[in-house]
Homo-oligomer: A and B are copies of this chain.
Amino acid sequence: MALKKKPVTGMKDILPAEMQIRDYVMNLIKETYRGFGFSSIETPCVEHIENLTSKQGGDNEKLIFKILKRGEKLNVAEAQTESDVVDGGLRYDLTLPLSRYYANNSASLPMPFKALQMGSVWRADRPQRGRFRQFVQCDIDILGDPTFMAEIELILATTTLLGKVGFKNFKVRINDRRILKAMAAYCGFPEDKYDLVFIILDKMDKIGMDGVAKELEESGFSKESIAKCVEIFENTTNDLQGLAYCKEKMADVMEEGVAENLETIITNVENTTTTSFDMIFDPTLVRGMSYYTGTIFEIEMEGFSGSVAGGGRYDEMIGKFTGNKTCACGFSIGFERIVTILMENGYTIPNEKEKKAYLVEKKASNELLSKVLKRAMEERAEGKQVLVSQMNKNKKFQKEQLTAEGYTEIKEIFFDTEEF
């Protein structure tokens, strides 16, 4: 009755070396975010299938691991469709469960509520290198704060964390969905085509202004609109001046206060951060999720493609779920991505415990063993990591293994050892 030894397709066993880094980063996250007044919360990994398939999850709803009904409710032989046999599913993100959690518990929660969630999510994605079907997400969200204070705190907390992990040379890019919309209106793109314009704009990083202009042309937009668009982007610098330029140019079409709001966020973050990074106004930043209603932001790191963190304001989403409008703003760091980067760079955890091992010969007396154990307990109390183990027959191999695990001091205790 041998077991299947491999994990299920697309999921992985985590070995001690990776686990040590994961534990360390998780701790740093909880510690840092707690310092900013975020409270840890947790929801069950299983959610009602009705909630998971309520059309809020976009393509992720196609990737749900579904859970079979149990007991009398299940009749496989007579079932015709999936919904006859399924009543739950594994969560595909932490945002949907947060909405349900807030709807269920808001009476017991402070206002505004600063939530920290760290937990596994599951997506039955096509397996591919470095992407797994179970992975950890890490979200901070501020519910019930309509002001720029939410954005400032989210950005300060996330950048402080990345600094503590040891990352340098990263960039926070920020934009506002309402600036994107104003830009599209100013250029005269047809309103029902805004989403297409944004999808093309989003490629600015990769294909440049010329490429964007070309794609806009190929999509049939008017030369006049494209020319206006090029003019805007060529004259917008990635700083407060660029923001002021946008504000002035699009004064007639931009919602009041949007540019000032962004300015307040950028200024206050720059004035108060204790971590070194660049704060960049990026009018081409789009971010895919359709639920964002205002500010959007992303963090990218030199030498690594894609973002390591992303977020924004989504004032309409929770209300759609719960029936009570609740403004919300969140920032999610790519936990798995950060762990991968650290592993690939041979990260060593700062202030690691000193590792010491005692290998005790089998015929050592009880008195001697007790002496060794006592010493080990003292050293553990002093904060060391101490292993006490029987000496293997092949003690050379045992010592090599321990050295590979980072044990720097290995003491052999024989039956007649007196001092150690």
Contacts and interface: CB of A to CB of B under 8 A. Distances in A.
Please state the number of chain copies in the assembly.
2
A63 B204 CA distance: 52
A1 B55 contact: yes
B85 A134 contact: no
Contacts of A84: 76
B267 A15 contact: no
Given A46-B11, A76-B81, A353-B35, A145 B390 contact: yes
Contact of A322 (B2, B35, B322, B401): B2
Nearest to A370: B271
Contacts of A23: 30, 40
A7 B52 CA distance: 12
B76 A82 contact: yes
B19 A387 contact: no
A63 to B, nearest CB: 9
Contacts of A66: 67-68
Contacts of A357: 37
Contact of A267 (B37, B41, B109, B370): B370
Given A3-B51, A19-B41, A389-B145, A268 B370 contact: yes
A15 B108 contact: yes
Nearest to A86: B68
Contact of A77 (B12, B81, B122, B274): B81
Interface in A304-324: 320-323
Nearest to A270: B370
Q: How large is the interface on A (under 10, 10 to 19, 20 to 34, 35 or more residues)?
A: 35 or more
B14 A42 contact: yes
Interface string A341-375: 00000000000010101001010001001100110
Contacts of A369: 264, 268
A267 B105 CA distance: 51
Interface stretch (A208-216, A222-230, A245-253, A376-384): A376-384
A36 B147 CA distance: 48
A402 interface: yes
Given A13-B43, A19-B42, A271-B373, 12 more contacts: A7-B44, A8-B88, A16-B40, A36-B385, A65-B70, A68-B86, A76-B81, A76-B84, A112-B389, A152-B373, A156-B377, A160-B380
- The 5 A-B pairs of least Cβ separation, nearest first, read A37-B387, A11-B44, A16-B39, A272-B373, A14-B42
